Amino acid sequence: MAPARDPEQFFSSLSSAGRQDVLETLRRLYQRIVLDYFQSPPQVEAQVDAFVQLAYRLDLPVSRILEIHMELMADISKQLKLEHRSEDILLDYRLTLIDVMANLCETYRRATRQVLGYTAEETR
């Protein structure tokens, strides 16, 4: 069940400072997810969920999530280069983004059904 949303809390309704605040929170959450993703799967699921719920409540443009991912990848890449380590892991982190995006997409899909009043059990 998708959480209720308040349009006044939408990203597009926030002040410039408010946007910077939520983007910072999202960046921190996403970094945690990426760093934990291939380490501790059970805990990561809750982290992905928290990120997705926040992005959904904010009605965050999807392009912002791509930006958060790309900025973080640039930071990690810089760090790996400094340590003369392989950057192969960056390709694996695309799986993290796919997972987050799939979860968010499914949240919106269900919300659309809810709003339209389709209560039938979704079958596969």
The per-residue DSSP string of 8-42 comes to GGSGGGS-HHHHHHHHHHHHHHHHHHHHHTTT-HH
Of 55, 94, 98, 103, whose CA–CA distance to 76 is shortest? 94
Q: Give the span between the Cα atoms of 61 and 16, in whole angstroms.
A: 15
Q: Between residue 70 and residue 109, which ones bind a second copy under the rule CB under 8 A?
A: 91, 94-95, 97-98, 101-102, 104-106, 108-109
Binding status of residue 17 toward a second copy by CB under 8 A: no
Of the pair 7, 82, the CB lying nearest a second copy is at 7
Residues near a second copy (CB under 8 A) are 7, 10, 12, 59, 61-66, 91, 94-95, 97-98, 101-102, 104-106, 108-109, 111-113, 115-116, 118, 120, 122-124
